[in-house]
Amino acid sequence: MDFVDRTLKCVECGKDFVFTAGEQLFFHDKQFSNDPKRCKDCKNKRSAQRRRGDGTGRRSGTETRTQCSQCGIETTVPFRPTQGRPVLCRSCFQIQQQAASGATASQSAAEQNGVPAEVESAALMQTTPDALAEKQ
């Protein structure tokens, strides 16, 4: 397949730029289906803007105002909430994280004693209040 230099129009600045035969060969080898939309200058500006973000790789401006599913206060989240999934404010989220890590800690403590957590919880469920009083 022969490639020939082509002139394209940048969607950002409207200037014409050359899509070289070498670039076309590269696009063909990588199986890119679309031609470039921006000239090199606009592409470099766009890349620089994306890199200058907050350092986390998140795009700025994606904050969404919503209500916390647990406490009901208005909060902002860095994503668009989806239907049917709970959205938590920062404090409710941290409480939930601490509760989840506490459950993990108790499971690992049981396993450190050489008793699998499932066996220990099953034994506790079968223990009657009278048996607990006798152990004390």
pLDDT of residue 127: 41
pLDDT of residue 78: 84
pLDDT of residue 106: 52
CA–CA separation, 82 and 72 (whole Å): 17
- The answer to whether the beta carbons of residues 38 and 11 sit under 8 Å apart is yes
Q: Which of 14, 16, 12, 10 is nearest to 36 (CA)?
A: 10
pLDDT of residue 105: 54
pLDDT of residue 24: 95
Give the CA angle between residues 85, 91, 94 to the nearest 5°.
75
pLDDT of residue 76: 87
103, containing H or E segment? helix 90-112
Token digits of residue 12: 């950002």
pLDDT of residue 5: 96
Give the residue ranges of the chain where pLDDT is below 70. 53-61, 103-136
pLDDT of residue 1: 73
Domain extent listing, the chain: 6-51, 64-79+86-135
- To the question of pTM greater than 0.85 for the whole model, the response is no
74, containing H or E segment? strand 74-77
